[in-house]
Amino acid sequence: MAKIVAGVGTSHVPAIGAALDNGKTEEPYWKRVFSGYEESKRWIEKIKPDVCIVVFNDHATAFSVDVVPTFALGCADEFIPADEGWGPRPVPVVKGHSALAAHIAQSVILDEFDLTVVNKMEVDHGLTVPLSLMFGQPEEWPCKIIPLAVNVVLFPPPTGHRCFALGEAIRKAVESYPEDLKVVIFGTGGMSHQISGQRAGLINSKFDKAFLDNLTANPEKLTKMKHVEYMREAGAEGVEMVMWLVMRGALNTNVEEVYRFYTVPASNTAVGNIILENRPESRARATAKKPTRAKKVAAVRAKAAPAKKKVAKKAAAKKKVAARKARR
């Protein structure tokens, strides 16, 4: 059986990719960013996932304004790094896992998520920068990648609640895949940033830190946050953070935050990275099932007096009939 073992949240700032590709990693400005990912690189090397599902957004690369799918799953065998106007990034071709992707697509569609299946898609910095941050600069990416593109460019993006629910459906799909595969899911984008308009450059570290805290311990709260709050508090493009909720929805309620890194800035953006490992749910479930004293009492009372209720109902019905007759 395939299994999701952990989730990674990370920003996907294009300038990070450019800095890496142009050999600027030792410059103090960029070293501050890259050194924060050293621990994450060691972690993923140890975990050795077979497949990574990477939730990202396309930035007007594969999808123009001709077609804007809300959720689009990459089901191809490979995805070519795109030319975004500065020439393509010199990174390996992204190899997909088309069999697992097709399985996930079918499963989540039957779970009522009207997903778009994509069999050809060039991938931009939204997908390749997280891979570079987590895997460095290898000849080949060390595992298969399933890209899940979420629209956050054309307002409105899907709600955080919907993203979380899709994560849950993806988990169910992965767990019903017969082959033994170790899967890690990435939520990418964010953190606070605005790159458009006179308010460009907005950063809200307090918001970002609270988001990371809640992502681990209280994701329910985040699923209720409205888009306008993300935009007002974390910048117009900060709304990208809903994508981290797909990742969180695919994990256990019980997770352990094994790593966190946060720095400002990279270009226009606050950079965040978090690693959440699944932990057994058993104890949490046991407490959830335990009924409260009030519920126990109510249950006993209901058992003791079911006849009375029926009698009362019958009497009420008789009264109604009598009233109707009286009106006639």
Active site residues: 125, 193
The answer to whether 221 and 153 have CB atoms below 8 angstroms apart is no
Distance CA 228, CA 249 (A): 22
Distance CA 148, CA 320 (A): 59
Among 236, 247, 251, 274, binds other proteins (CB under 8 A): 236
Task: Please list every residue from 269 through 288 that binds other proteins, using CB under 8 A.
Answer: 270
What is the pairing mode between strands 51-56 and 144-150? Answer: parallel
Distance CA 168, CA 160 (A): 13
> Looking at beta carbons only, is 87 or 280 nearer to other proteins?
87
The answer to whether 104 and 117 have CB atoms below 8 angstroms apart is no
Question: Judged by CB under 8 A, does residue 11 bind other proteins?
Answer: no
Task: Please list every residue from 67 through 86 that binds other proteins, using CB under 8 A.
Answer: 82-86
Q: Cis (ω within 30 of 0) for the bond into 265?
A: yes
Among 237, 240, 247, 274, binds other proteins (CB under 8 A): 237
Contact stretch for other proteins (CB under 8 A) within 36-44, 201-209, 254-262, 314-322: 201-209
Question: Judged by CB under 8 A, does residue 5 bind other proteins?
Answer: no
Site string for other proteins, 20-59 (x = CB under 8 A): ---------------------------------------x
Query: What's the token pair of residue 268?
Result: 């226009």
- Tell me how far, at minimum, the Cβ of 10 lies from other proteins, in Å: 18
CB-based burial, 275-285: b 16+ in 10 Å, e otherwise? bbbbeeeeeee
Task: Please list every residue from 81 through 120 that binds other proteins, using CB under 8 A.
Answer: 82-87
Name the nearest CA neighbour of 150 among 59, 237, 81. Answer: 59
Question: Judged by CB under 8 A, does residue 291 bind other proteins?
Answer: no
Question: Judged by CB under 8 A, does residue 209 bind other proteins?
Answer: no
Distance CA 239, CA 122 (A): 23
For the purposes of burial, counting CB atoms within 10 Å of the CB of 246, is it exposed (0-12), middle (13-18) or buried (19 or more)?
Answer: buried
Contact stretch for other proteins (CB under 8 A) within 33-41, 175-183, 231-239, 311-319: 231-239
Task: Please list every residue from 140 through 199 that binds other proteins, using CB under 8 A.
Answer: 153-156, 192, 194-199
Query: What's the token pair of residue 184?
Result: 């890690």
Q: What are phi and psi of 264, to 5 degrees?
A: -130, 135
Size of residue set near other proteins by CB under 8 A: 45
- Tell me how far, at minimum, the Cβ of 235 lies from other proteins, in Å: 8
> Looking at beta carbons only, is 66 or 180 nearer to other proteins?
66
Contact stretch for other proteins (CB under 8 A) within 90-98, 127-135, 166-174, 264-272: 264-272
- Tell me how far, at minimum, the Cβ of 241 lies from other proteins, in Å: 15
Among 128, 223, 268, 278, binds other proteins (CB under 8 A): 268
> Looking at beta carbons only, is 221 or 227 nearer to other proteins?
227
The answer to whether 272 and 9 have CB atoms below 8 angstroms apart is yes
Question: Judged by CB under 8 A, does residue 207 bind other proteins?
Answer: yes
Among 64, 282, 287, 292, binds other proteins (CB under 8 A): 64
The answer to whether 53 and 183 have CB atoms below 8 angstroms apart is yes
Among 66, 114, 139, 180, binds other proteins (CB under 8 A): 66
CA distances (Å), origin 144, targets 75, 94, 131: 12, 8, 11
Give the CA radius of gyration of the chain.
24
Work out the end-to-end distance of the chain between its first and last CA atoms, rounded to an integer number of angstroms: 69
- Positions in the binding site for other proteins (CB under 8 A): 14-15, 18, 59-61, 64-66, 82-87, 153-156, 192, 194-205, 207, 227-228, 231-233, 236-237, 264-265, 267-268, 270
